[in-house]
Amino acid sequence: MGKKITGVSAEVFVQTVLEVHSAGGTWDDVAKRVGTKKTSCTVRASNLKKEGVNLPTLSRSGRGRKKDIVALAKMVSDFHASQAVASVAEVAEVAEVAEVAEAEVLPVVEQTDTQVAE
C-alpha cells in the first residue's frame, strides 16, 4: 500500500475522488481504491487544485463519521442539568441538617442562658 501514484491517470484519480466524495468517504477510501498511501492522494489532489482542478473536499479522518451536533449539545445540557440537580439536593441536605441542628441546639442554648441569668 506504500506505492507512489504512478499507474493511475489523472482522469481515473479525479473520477475516484468524485465517487468517494459522493459516497461520503474519506481520503483513506480513495487511497485504498487507487492502491497507495493517503498522503500521496492528498498531495496529488493539492497539486491538481493548484493547477485549477476544483476537487471536492474530503475528510482526512479515517473515521468517516459525521458529528451529530444536536446529540452532543443535548449530552452536555443533560450533564449540566444533572449537576444542577445534584447541587440543589446538596443545598437541601445542608439546610435540613441546619434546621435539625437549630431545633436541637437552640433549646439547649436558651436553657443555658436562663440558668446563667439566674
Higher-confidence residue: 111 or 59?
A: 59
pTM above 0.75, yes or no: no
55 and 86 within one domain: no
Task: Supply the DSSP string of 54-72, one letter for each residue.
Answer: -PPP-BS-SS-----HHHH
Higher-confidence residue: 95 or 49?
A: 49
Please write the tens of the pLDDT for every residue from 73-96.
788 887 777 777 667 667 767 667
| Residue 44 CB burial class (10 angstroms; 0-12, 13-18, ≥19) | buried
The three-point CA angle 62-63-68 to 5° equals 145
Name the average pLDDT for the chain: 77
End-to-end CA distance of the chain: 98
Range of the domain at 19: 1-64
CA distance 111 to 102: 14
Three-class DSSP category at 51: coil
CATH number of 21's domain: 1.10.10
95 and 39 within one domain: no
